[in-house]
């Protein structure tokens, strides 16, 4: 089965539309979303409705939980907190209802799905080999998909060896048949790995192989929507730099 894995959309309708168009061209059978549909961007209702319609599995992320009032936004950056408050005021009832039905962890086709990490599905950033080692030790899943960091990367622990990891670029293929894996598809709506294009990942569950993908999208349109909503301008500026 061919599966698209997406994460960290953050109310960026333009990016999500571009990824779904690429997914449709790739003849994907299912779409899995690792959370954070809202936050930062200006289209929470449209993005959430699209995810609800298109994704067979969806997790809740920390920004989604913050909008629901389940997390204290005093731990957020100033811009992130402002986006949470704006989303609380502007998101519709259907959006909030959908977010409230979701969990931060799940499993599909024998793989683990976590918004952040197997150890802490809501908050932990997996950005080092040491953190990856601790995550591998905390889960029975040999292969897991994670989001949250907004960076396309992977960590691999072959049997008998320590975990190693690296960032990944478009077109990189991973053979998942051996060892343990933590795989982050990158962010659809706000990439932070220097590539401004919307990120997603293609998984072939039969071949046990995945490929990192990118989609060009209307960045100027997403920036205009953020500015029209009077969200912090930094949230618009960073999109063009992939930071």
Q: Looking at the 3D structure of the chain, how many domains does it have? A: 1
Any idea what the CATH number is for the domain that residue 230 is in? 3.60.21.10
Q: Which residues of 189-217 are buried (b: 16+ CB within 10 A; e: fewer)?
A: bbbbbebbbbbbbbbebeebebbbbbbeb
Confidence of residue 18 (pLDDT cuts 50, 70, 90): very high
Proportion of the chain above pLDDT 90, given as a percent: 99
CA distances from 83 to 38, 93, 207, 217 (A): 9, 17, 40, 22
Instruction: State mean pLDDT over 46-72.
Output: 97
Provide the domain limits for residue 207. Answer: 2-241
For residues 99-123, give the mean pLDDT.
Answer: 97
Mean of the pLDDT values across residues 123-140?
97
CA dist 76 and 173 (Å) reads: 34
**Structural Rg of the chain based on CA atoms:** 17
pLDDT attached to residue 68: 98
**CA-wise closest residue to 81 among 237, 242, 235, 191:** 235
How high is the pLDDT of residue 116? 98
Average the pLDDT over 21-31 and give the result.
Answer: 96
Mean pLDDT across 50-68: 98
Mean pLDDT rounded to a whole number for the chain: 97
Q: How far is CA 171 from CA 154, 200, 213, 221, in A?
A: 14, 11, 6, 26
pLDDT at site 5: 98
Please tell me the predicted confidence (pLDDT) of residue 117. 98
Residue 220: pLDDT band with limits 50, 70, 90: very high
Flag whether the pTM goes above 0.75. yes
What's the confidence (pLDDT) of residue 216?
A: 98
């Amino acid at each position: 089965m061919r599966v698209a894995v997406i994460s960290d959309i953050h109310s960026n309708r333009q990016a999500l539309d571009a990824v779904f168009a690429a997914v449709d061209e790739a003849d994907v059978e299912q779409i899995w979303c690792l959370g954070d549909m809202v936050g930062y961007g200006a289209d929470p209702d449209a993005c959430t409705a699209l995810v609800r319609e298109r994704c067979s599995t969806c997790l809740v992320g920390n920004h989604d939980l913050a909008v629901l009032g389940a997390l204290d936004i005093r731990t957020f950056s100033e811009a992130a907190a402002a986006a949470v408050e704006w989303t609380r005021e502007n998101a519709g009832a259907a959006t909030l209802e959908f977010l409230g039905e979701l969990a931060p962890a799940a499993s599909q086709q024998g793989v683990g799905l976590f918004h952040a990490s197997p150890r802490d599905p809501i908050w932990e950033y997996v950005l080092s080999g040491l953190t990856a080692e601790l995550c591998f030790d905390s889960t029975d899943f040999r292969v897991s998909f994670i989001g949250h960091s907004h960076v396309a990367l992977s960590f691999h622990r072959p049997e008998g060896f320590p975990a190693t990891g690296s960032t990944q670029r478009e077109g990189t293929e991973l053979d998942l048949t051996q060892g343990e894996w933590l795989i982050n598809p990158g962010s659809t709506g706000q990439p932070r790995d220097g590539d401004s294009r919307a990120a997603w990942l293609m998984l072939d569950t039969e071949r046990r192989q995945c490929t990192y993908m990118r989609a060009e999208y209307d960045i100027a349109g997403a920036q205009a929507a953020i500015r029209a909503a009077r969200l912090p301008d930094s949230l618009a500026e960073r999109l063009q730099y992939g930071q």
